Structure 1
């Protein structure tokens, strides 16, 4: 019955009622039974343990309903998610006919990053693979400072004149760059794509612009809210962080050598920076993201209809020359309805490639295959991410 589906109120209410009945059984009826005291105590303890488990299950079920991690009983049981045919909108994302090399002048600090004070002696030359490190980056234009995690491929320290494309990652909310370095190990995904001949070595940069309970949605806010600074994240990324990356790392200026990626709230960030700033990002990789800000209660930094962040209308009116790759489950109630509205506004030269699975909800193990697939797509559509040999 639909009313008792995993995310329906009927299931939650039934679970709460059953928990309350078991609790009453433990504290009211069991002590009155004419049984031996030891047996009665053991039975009561077992029932109270059951109550504790039911309370935890109830909380998990409620949070699942709020976050759509699992959208059905089949999803929870690990039912296989069927991959659906790729859909394309707007201009076609043409395949790469020739990989292009990045070129430009290299400074001494870029050539020897271990001596660059911007990296605070956090780069090791003994790393067996690529390496992550985190440094604070102050924004002169935005007036804000965020921690920034960087992943450098192993080759970066050895080929001191080679230049690299950049993937900038954005986390969900609440989120942390450590999701990319630990849970997902995005650097390893890049290494695998390189080893398989699908991508060239790339630098990965993750600004912590959605830290803890601070839901910036990557916007420049116009409102003040208690307990949080009004964000100027769009300015921070475009005017502060990107120039910092270009100053300190061996990267190119061509927007086709820059890609944004993100999941959930970070997917909105990725789409926003790509659609609004095609002069900076030539590609956007979106995993279960959306196309209008989804502000957390008490952190609505702008009017809900602020045209600066309505990506549907921006795409329709400006038609940015950018390639977008989108991945989601079709039963994700946060991302998929937003995608179905956005795709109708896409027209050339904007290109939108949509990959999806039939079911899976809004969770990491759904996004992870999309991340792997998007790296292959990036290497096949951008001449500066395409493998050179």
Structure 2
């Protein structure tokens, strides 16, 4: 039984129901200590079931092994990446590998979407553009995979010709699922920014057939990952050409430890006080998602040439996967339009 499976939630609800019925049956038969124990059981049951549902929505712990820290490490790269075996016609393939971080000290699994063209005979001599897709907090790349069906959406957009065949990287933005890094190098903590902007790209260029030039690299993310995408674009305009934000913010909302959350890791501060790079931003939000709406509007208002901005607004839906599913396709299509096309290997 999966920790984020429907039956786990059903079991939790049944346990809560049993505890509640037991409390009603035994309330008059017990003294103060017994009644206290019955109340505690009900409260613990309700809290545990609520935690299971939150976990189902965020995919923070997609399996029991993830919760206990006993996850199997993904295998090293194999001949699959060279196109040794064909994918289904028109279907991309999702593979997961362990990506070490010599610069950051982080060592994390990363899922990779390889488009169908990656395995086609006429695609084996090509290097492909790249998008790094960053998850929210709490959450993991599994939210992109399960809740947003990123593989199906990418297959759909590429097959329709709205998007060029593109390699999409799905890295973790934190080594501790209960620690929100906002993709920054935290003082005395994880160096997530270094991992995402140095170690991950270096690994991809060494193990995948991807383009190396800035014109072929972009970022996207939802919620905290949307802040990450915008912030990392502005901090590393020599490496990325564009970013798409799905319900992002103008500031990280955490303490980085060096006060940079108020300055260089604050998008609004950067756009006000530092030279603005030549790059492109797609910024989307739901109009009833107050925090993301206000933060996204502020970024759009502060952006000045040579930074270009396109905005997209969903009337309602709040801060939710339902909204991000609506934005996902248009955001990827727009990013693809900003990126260089697949090109022959040099």
TM-score w.r.t. length of structure 2:
0.72
Q: Who is 2:180 aligned against? A: 215
Shift of residue 380, structure 1, vs aligned partner? 3.4
For residue 85 of structure 2, the aligned residue among 125, 137, 145 is: 125
Q: Who is 1:140 aligned against? A: 102
Counterpart CA distance in 2 for 1:145 and 1:236 is 9
* Aligned alpha-carbon RMSD (Å): 3.2
Residue range with higher mean Cα deviation, 122-131 or 373-382: 122-131
Deviations 1:284-326 (A, max 9, x none): 011011121122xxx7544364422011122232211111101
Shift of residue 343, structure 1, vs aligned partner? 2.2
CA contact (8 A) 1:174 1:210 kept: no
CA contact (8 A) 2:300 2:311 kept: no
> Which has the higher relative contact order, 1 or 2, with Cα contacts under 8 A spaced 6 or more apart?
1
- Asked whether 1:357 is paired with 2:293, we answer no
- Asked whether 1:377 is paired with 2:334, we answer yes
Query: Which consecutive unaligned segments of at least 5 residues does structure 1 have?
Result: 1-21, 32-51, 68-116, 225-229
Q: Who is 2:60 aligned against? A: none
Secondary structure, counterpart of 1:273 in structure 2: helix
Shift of residue 191, structure 1, vs aligned partner? 1.7
Q: Who is 1:191 aligned against? A: 155
For residue 115 of structure 2, the aligned residue among 123, 140, 153 is: 153
CA contact (8 A) 2:131 2:219 kept: yes
Counterpart CA distance in 2 for 1:385 and 1:292 is 34
Shift of residue 126, structure 1, vs aligned partner? 4.5
Query: Which consecutive unaligned segments of at least 5 residues does structure 2 have?
Result: 1-19, 30-41, 58-74
For residue 326 of structure 1, the aligned residue among 257, 261, 283 is: 283
- Asked whether 1:293 is paired with 2:293, we answer no
Counterpart CA distance in 2 for 1:176 and 1:305 is 23
Shift of residue 122, structure 1, vs aligned partner? 6.3
Secondary structure, counterpart of 1:205 in structure 2: strand
After TM superposition, the runs of 4+ consecutive aligned structure 1 residues lying more than 3 A away are 25-31, 120-124, 299-302, 379-386
Deviations 1:12-60 (A, max 9, x none): xxxxxxxxxx99x9689999xxxxxxxxxxxxxxxxxxxx8xx969x97
Residue range with higher mean Cα deviation, 149-158 or 304-313: 304-313
Counterpart CA distance in 1 for 2:207 and 2:220 is 21
- Asked whether 1:162 is paired with 2:130, we answer no
- Asked whether 1:245 is paired with 2:210, we answer no
CA contact (8 A) 1:209 1:233 kept: yes
Q: Who is 1:38 aligned against? A: none
TM-score w.r.t. length of structure 1:
0.65
Counterpart CA distance in 1 for 2:195 and 2:26 is 60
1:289/1:28 Cα in 2 relative to 1: closer, same or farther (>3 Å)?
same
CA contact (8 A) 2:283 2:300 kept: no
Shift of residue 134, structure 1, vs aligned partner? 1.2
1:56/1:327 Cα in 2 relative to 1: closer, same or farther (>3 Å)?
farther
Q: Who is 1:17 aligned against? A: none
Choose 1 or 2 for highest CA Rg. 1
CA contact (8 A) 1:379 1:385 kept: no
Q: Who is 2:141 aligned against? A: 177
Q: What count of residue pairs does the alignment treat as equivalent?
A: 283
Deviations 1:170-225 (A, max 9, x none): 00111111222222221221221122111110001011123521211110111x4x
Secondary structure, counterpart of 1:262 in structure 2: strand
1:140/1:30 Cα in 2 relative to 1: closer, same or farther (>3 Å)?
closer
CA contact (8 A) 2:229 2:243 kept: yes
Q: Who is 1:266 aligned against? A: 225
